[in-house]
């Protein structure tokens, strides 16, 4: 089926893969018409991490309100949309099903073309979307190297003008964001750990605690973060545990840990830029909001002759703009899903049910 799709098509995106329920309308795959995000930090904070059952229950509670908010801000009724895009995975299946079922119902009742989007493709495409007014990332077009650093993923991709992103390397154990969340817990800081650690780290000395720069396999492009988390825990114990630390000590631990993560990410990214002979790297996902990582990556780019592009802060963490953007690219190529589309918890970008948009029927 090769439905033609208008070049300035209005696409509603819906994202619910983890603990954010988000909806957004995009025109022509780049212009943000509206965006609404409902987070669940207060729901999960008492547990120090996302509780899947609570996440999906909260999604059920807010889904129609969030979608309505995005449509209202855009001044549109569902029937005025040209298409619908929804995250189908990877993520928590209970969470995904809420957004996916809602999207299917909306598509069916308004006779709208609809596509499922891979969450990580969404994160990567976020770097190509101009932030409202910020202009950051506005000129990024493939080819480039993409570094996805989120709560669930840490991976490098080759993003070409055609086809799906190709995996170059990924974490062997914990994701970088997961390490932030776990180390925050060790340091008695609140959930989510990334923003909490960065805030405390502002007053810390990044050289105060000697931590390893985690590298899985020298010379490769893989990452590893569980050893770093263990190193923090061992050093904490050696100093008599959290209770014997002053506020300044905690800040020093936070700054030292943040720097170790940033440096290891930058080292791998710089290596990928060399082996790929690439000139631009897009750094995306929740951890891309980290100030120190941004600074170190820009500095490495200046040294190594490449440009680092970061999405605006609100497009780093989970949002629906990125899903609408990735979905628009699929819809424009004639890709459509039907109501049998299922949610999936773990599927690499290049595998079924994800198909290469370049190979979609023309």
Is residue 150 involved in binding Zn ion (CB under 5 A)? yes
Is residue 194 involved in binding ligand KG4 (CB under 6 A)? yes
Nearest residue (CB) to Zn ion, 41 versus 68: 41
Residue 256 host element (H or E): helix 247-275
- For residues 34 and 74, the answer to whether their CB atoms sit within 8 Å is yes
- Nearest distance, CB of residue 28 and ligand KG4, angstroms: 25
Is residue 20 involved in binding Zn ion (CB under 5 A)? no
Tokens of 133: 């007014």
Half-sphere CA count of 59, side-chain side, radius 13 A: 28
* C-alpha span between 21 and 275 (Å, rounded): 38
- Nearest distance, CB of residue 218 and ligand KG4, angstroms: 25
* Residue 120 binding result from Zn ion, ligand KG4, none, given CB thresholds of 5 to 8 Å by partner type: none
Is residue 15 involved in binding ligand KG4 (CB under 6 A)? no
* Residue 321 binding result from ligand KG4, Zn ion, none, given CB thresholds of 5 to 8 Å by partner type: none
Nearest residue (CB) to ligand KG4, 81 versus 261: 261
Half-sphere CA count of 301, side-chain side, radius 13 A: 18
Is residue 113 involved in binding ligand KG4 (CB under 6 A)? no
Site for Zn ion in 317-346 (CB under 5 A): 318
* C-alpha span between 85 and 300 (Å, rounded): 36
- Nearest distance, CB of residue 150 and Zn ion, angstroms: 4
Please report, for residues 183, 233, 253, 338, the alpha-carbon distance to residue 60 in angstroms, rounded to integers and kept in the order given. 31, 37, 39, 22
Choose which of 195, 204, 327, 357 interacts with ligand KG4 (CB under 6 A).
195
Please report, for residues 17, 104, 116, 142, the alpha-carbon distance to residue 338 in angstroms, rounded to integers and kept in the order given. 19, 8, 9, 29
Is residue 19 involved in binding Zn ion (CB under 5 A)? no
Is residue 95 involved in binding ligand KG4 (CB under 6 A)? no
Tokens of 12: 């509603």
Residue 72 CB contacts under 8 Å (≥ 6 apart), including other chains: 34
Site for ligand KG4 in 264-303 (CB under 6 A): 285-287, 289-290
Binding site for ligand KG4 (CB under 6 A): 18, 150-152, 177-178, 180-181, 192-195, 198, 285-287, 289-290, 317-318
Query: What are the residues binding Zn ion (CB under 5 A)?
Result: 150, 318
């Amino acid at each position: 089926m090769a439905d033609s799709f208008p070049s300035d098509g209005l696409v509603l995106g819906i994202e619910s893969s983890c603990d954010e329920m988000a909806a957004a309308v995009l025109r022509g795959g780049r212009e943000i018409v509206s965006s609404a995000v409902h987070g669940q930090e207060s729901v999960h904070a008492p547990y120090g991490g996302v509780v899947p059952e609570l996440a999906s229950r909260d999604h059920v509670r807010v889904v129609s309100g969030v979608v309505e908010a995005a449509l209202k801000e855009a001044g549109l009724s569902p029937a005025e949309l040209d298409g619908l895009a929804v995250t189908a995975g990877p993520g928590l299946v209970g969470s995904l099903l809420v957004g996916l079922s809602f999207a299917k119902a909306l598509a069916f009742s308004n006779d709208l073309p609809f596509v499922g989007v891979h969450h990580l493709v969404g994160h990567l495409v976020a770097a190509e979307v101009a932030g409202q007014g910020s202009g950051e990332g506005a000129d990024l077009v493939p080819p480039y190297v993409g570094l996805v650093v989120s709560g669930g993923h840490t991976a490098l991709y080759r993003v070409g003008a055609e086809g799906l992103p190709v995996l170059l390397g990924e974490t062997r154990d914990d994701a970088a964001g997961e390490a932030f969340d776990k180390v925050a817990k060790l340091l008695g800081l609140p959930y989510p750990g990334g923003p909490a650690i960065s805030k405390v780290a502002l007053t810390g000395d990044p050289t105060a605690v000697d931590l390893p720069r985690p590298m899985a396999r020298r010379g490769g492009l893989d990452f590893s973060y569980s050893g770093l988390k263990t190193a923090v825990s061992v050093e904490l114990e050696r100093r008599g545990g959290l209770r014997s630390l002053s506020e300044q000590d905690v800040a020093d631990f936070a700054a030292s840990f943040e720097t170790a993560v940033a440096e290891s990410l930058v080292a791998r990214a710089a290596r990928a830029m060399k082996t790929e002979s690439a000139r631009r790297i897009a750094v995306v996902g929740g951890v891309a909001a980290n100030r120190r990582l941004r600074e170190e990556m820009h500095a490495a780019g200046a040294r190594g002759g490449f440009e680092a592009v970061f999405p605006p802060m609100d497009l780093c963490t989970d949002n629906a703009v990125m899903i609408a953007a990735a979905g628009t690219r699929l819809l424009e190529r004639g890709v459509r899903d039907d109501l049998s589309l299922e949610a999936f918890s773990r599927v690499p970008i290049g595998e079924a049910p994800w198909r290469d948009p370049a190979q979609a029927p023309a």
